[in-house]
Structure 1
C-alpha cells in the first residue's frame, strides 16, 4: 500500500467504482487528482494512478479487487466531519471528505490512518505541534459559537424540553449503519445503552435523539419507542448544539455526535468503538487494545478535522481549508436565523419567486407568495409570521394586515452588487437587501442601513476586510449592473471632468430622495450652471438606454448643456476619466467614492450625510462621520445578503465579485446594450425562466 506522501495531490487519474461517488461535484479536487474515471477497464489500468472506494460499501470491494489485480494503491473515502448544510440522503454534496490508505476511521476492527495519527503509530507525533493545536482551539471556538455540526440544516430555533432538570441524551443511529457493526456493536448494544442510561442516572430524564435520516423518512432507527416514563423520544429536527445545551451527559454507540458533545464539554459514554473512543476523553464500555495513548479533545480534533479531512473552498471547485468551510456553514446558519419564521410575501412578480425562495430559505420555515391581504389570511398568517414586500409595493390592505397582527414590514430591493445584465432584463440578482426599518433609498425615514451607519460600532477586522473588498472592486472594475463596453473615452486635458450619471426618472429613489432637481435634464442644467467651465459627460442610465424605463433626454438638448453624451462605455471607464461626479441619488456616486472621487449630491442617497460627499440637501438625522471603508463595511458587508446562484447557498461579497467577473465576456467587453428588440425579449424570457427555477 502507498504512503501518504505518494497519495492525494500526486495523482493524475483516480479510478472509482461508485457512480454516486463519481457524481459528487468537484470529486477530483476532493480526491487530490486531476480527473476521476468511473469503472476503468482492465485495458486502461496503466492510465490509473490510484483506486478509491467509498468506505466499506460493496462497490469498495470491487474497487479493491481492481487495485490488487493491477498492483495500484487503494484508498477509502468517506464523508468528512463538517460535511455540508443538508443531508447526504438529500443529495447535498460534501464540502469535506476523508481519505484513508489503511482502513476507514469508523472501522475499529483494524487500524485506520486516523488512528495512527492519534496514536503516533508511525513514530512521529504530529499532534505535538503547538501551532496546530492553537489552530484547533480557534476552530473549535468558532464551531461552538456558530452551533455547527456534521450536517447543518436544522431549524435555527432554540428547543424547549420543559422546566430545568437533569437530562441525559441518548443518541440513536440508523439501522444497518456500517459504523455500528464496524464499531464492535450490534442492534442489542442500543438496548443495553438505554438501560445503562436509565440505571446510571435515576434522577434524570432520558432524551433519545432520532437520527436526521430517520426524520427524513429515508431510514429506520434502533430506538424508535420506549415504555419507560422517564424516556422522551426527541423526533424533531434540532441543532445538536441546542440539545447539548439542554443535557448534562451524552450516551452514544458510535455516533459522531459523541465527539461533537465533547466539543461542548459534555461527559460522553461510548457503548461502541467510535474513532474518538479509547484515548481517555470518553467513558468507554468497549476496550480497544490498540488505543492506549491519552489525548485531549483538541488533539483529537486536530487529528481528525485538520490532518485527516480534506476540504473544498465552498465558493469554487478549488481545494480549501477547514476555516473556509466553517465560515461558509456559519454564514448559512446565521442567515437561516434571519429568515426564521413563516414568511408572507407581497408584490413579487412571478419571475422573482424562484430565486426569492432561495434568499428566504430557512429549515422549518414556510414561504407564501400572496396576491393580497385576504390571501394571506386564508393561508394562516398570524402574529408570529413575517411580512416581506418588494420595495414599497404593498397595498393599503397589506399595511392594515401588518398593523392588525403587529408585524413589521420587511422591504426587499436589489443589492449594490447585482448582476451582469440589467434588472429590467429580468437578470437574477447576486445580492438583495432586506430592511425591517425602511429601505435604503427612502431618506424620509430611517432604514437599517442608515441605522448601521449612524450607530454601528465596527470591528477593526470588519474595516480591514472592507478595505480589501474595496480594493478588489476597483481592480475588477465591477459596478451594479456591469454593462457597457471597455473602450477608449477621450477627454481634453485641462478642464475638470464631471460625470453626470442619468437615472430612471420614475424610480422611487428620485421620488423620495430628491428635493428640487428631479429630472436628468434638470440635473444637467444645474451642473452646467454651477460649473460653466467644466467638461461635462452625461451618461444615460442603462435601463433607459435599453428602452425598458423612463428618463430619456433628447440628445440635442443634452449636448446643448454638456460636452459629451456617452452611451456605450462602461461606468467603470467613465469613472476612471472623471475628476468628480454630480448626481441626484445614483449609486454611481457611491462607486465614485470608492475611487476617491469628489461627489456632489443634489438629492439624499444613502451614502450622503456621512462627511464623504458635498450635500445640497443634508439629512438632519445623519450626524456621524464615516470613512469610506466604514461606509463599505456597512453597505456591502453587513446590509446585503449574497446568493451563490450556482449552488443556491448564501455566500460572501468577495465570492460574489469573483462570480460576476467569471460571467463577464472575456474579450474585454461586458454586457452589450445595443441589441435588437427581439433579442432583448428572448433574453427576458431566459432570465425569467432562471428566476422561476433559480437555475444558475
Structure 2
C-alpha cells in the first residue's frame, strides 16, 4: 500500500484497486460464524459469500481464507487472499474471542511464512521510505512506548528485575503448532529446544521464560516438555504484562515471536533463531539467513512498513477504518475499561470449544 497519510486509513477498496481485483466476486472459505462479523468489518464495501466447499466457488473469484490454509480444487482464475491478525490487535486474546482491531491481507505467503516473499517483505525490500514516512513511524513508535501497547495488552505490571543481575534475557514461549514456527523456524521448533540452547550459550545470564498467553489461559496446548522449563531458566513468569517485562530485560531470544519486534521497538537486543519478518534487515542478531532480504533498514523503516503500510485497522467504537495512531487511542480506552459479562462468557465458551477440539 503506497498511501501513508493518517487521514486516509488503509481500506479494502484501496487494496483491491492496487492489486487489480476490483469487481470480482468475493468468497470467504471456511470462516466460522463467530468470525464473520470481524471479516465483514475488515472487508467493507463488497458482498461476501460464505462457502465451505471449493466446488461452490465461482471462477475468477477472490477467495478469502484465514492464515496459511491450503484449498485444493480452486476454479481457474481465482485469487486467494490470506488474512491474519495484525500487530496491534486487541485487549485480550484471539483464542478467547477478543475482537480484533487489525488484520493484514496477503497472497501466497503471509508475513510469518519465510518460505516465500510476503507483501510485507516486498515492501521492506523495495519501498523507498521518505523523511515524512520515517518521521511518522518514529512518532508512532514513541506513542506505543509511552502507552505501553503490545499485541494483546494482557497481564499485570508487577514484575521486577532481580537486583544485581548484570544481564537478563527473556525467552517468550510460542504455541508450537502455530504456522509461524512451521513456516519460519526450520531448525528449532519447540520452546524447550530454544530455552535449553539459550541457557547453554548464556550460562551466567538470568533467564526468564514466559509461556505464551494462550497456553497460560488454557486456550491452546502447552508445548512439548514445557513443564521442564524451570530446568533451563531462572524464572517462569506467567502473568506479567509484556510491556513491563520488556522495559526491564536486556535481550530477547526467540524463534519467531512477535515479542522480538516489540523488543526492537523498545530498543532491546533481539536474537532470532528462526526467520521472523523483522529478521534479516540488520536490526537483529540472526542465527539463520534469508537470502531474499538484502537491505539494511532503520527501525523507523521497518515500523512504517509493518505498522502503517501493511495492516487494516478498524475502530472498536464506530466500525470504520482508522489509522494506527487512532487505534492506539482505542486500545488505551479499551484497556482501561472493565471486562463485560459478554467478555467473560466468550472466554469460557472458547475454553469449552478448545476442549472439544482437543486444543487444550
Scaled by the length of structure 1, what TM-score is found? Answer: 0.47
Alignment of 1:73-88 (within 5 A): none
**Which residue of the partner structure matches residue 52 of structure 2?**
371
Q: Is the 8 A contact 2:218 2:351 kept in 1?
A: no
**How far did residue 474 of structure 1 move?**
0.4
Secondary structure at the counterpart of residue 175 of structure 2: coil
Q: Is the 8 A contact 1:555 1:565 kept in 2?
A: no
2:27 to 341, 344, 350: 344
Distance change (3 Å), C-alpha of 1:645 and 1:579 = same
**Which residue of the partner structure matches residue 348 of structure 2?**
681
Q: Is the 8 A contact 2:9 2:322 kept in 1?
A: no
Q: Is the 8 A contact 2:9 2:321 kept in 1?
A: no
Alignment of 1:325-340 (within 5 A): 327-328=7-8, 334=14, 337=17, 340=22
Pairwise CA RMSD: 2.5
Deviations 1:556-610 (A, max 9, x none): 6211110000011101011111100000000000000001111000011000000
Distance change (3 Å), C-alpha of 1:648 and 1:684 = farther
**Which residue of the partner structure matches residue 596 of structure 1?**
267
**Which residue of the partner structure matches residue 355 of structure 2?**
none
User: Gaps spanning 5+ residues in structure 2: where?
Assistant: 353-360
Secondary structure at the counterpart of residue 321 of structure 2: strand
Task: Give the whole-Å Cα distance in 2 for the aligned partners of 1:458 and 1:328.
Answer: 18
Distance change (3 Å), C-alpha of 1:373 and 1:627 = same
Alignment of 1:199-218 (within 5 A): none
1:391 to 67, 73, 77: 67
Deviations 1:466-497 (A, max 9, x none): 00000000001111011101213232323200
Deviations 1:27-83 (A, max 9, x none): xxxxxxxxxxxxxxxxxxxxxxxxxxxxxxxxxxxxxxxxxxxxxxxxxxxxxxxxx
Query: Do structure 1's residue 356 and structure 2's residue 36 form an aligned pair?
Result: no
Deviations 1:588-633 (A, max 9, x none): 0000000111100001100000000111111111011100010000
Greater C-alpha Rg: 1
Alignment of 1:271-350 (within 5 A): 327-328=7-8, 334=14, 337=17, 340-341=22-23, 342-350=25-33
Alignment of 1:648-687 (within 5 A): 648-665=319-336, 680-682=347-349
Task: Give the whole-Å Cα distance in 2 for the aligned partners of 1:474 and 1:628.
Answer: 14
Q: Is the 8 A contact 1:453 1:631 kept in 2?
A: yes
**How far did residue 538 of structure 1 move?**
0.4
User: Gaps spanning 5+ residues in structure 1: where?
Assistant: 1-145, 147-322, 686-696
Task: Give the whole-Å Cα distance in 2 for the aligned partners of 1:553 and 1:491.
Answer: 28
Secondary structure at the counterpart of residue 221 of structure 2: coil
Secondary structure at the counterpart of residue 462 of structure 1: helix
Q: Is the 8 A contact 2:219 2:351 kept in 1?
A: no
Alignment of 1:24-423 (within 5 A): 327-328=7-8, 334=14, 337=17, 340-341=22-23, 342-362=25-45, 365-376=46-57, 381-383=58-60, 385-398=61-74, 401=75, 404-405=76-77, 407-423=78-94
**Which residue of the partner structure matches residue 139 of structure 2?**
468
Q: Is the 8 A contact 1:521 1:553 kept in 2?
A: yes
Task: Give the whole-Å Cα distance in 1 for the aligned partners of 2:54 and 2:289.
Answer: 37
Q: Is the 8 A contact 1:463 1:630 kept in 2?
A: yes
Task: Give the whole-Å Cα distance in 2 for the aligned partners of 1:474 and 1:529.
Answer: 32
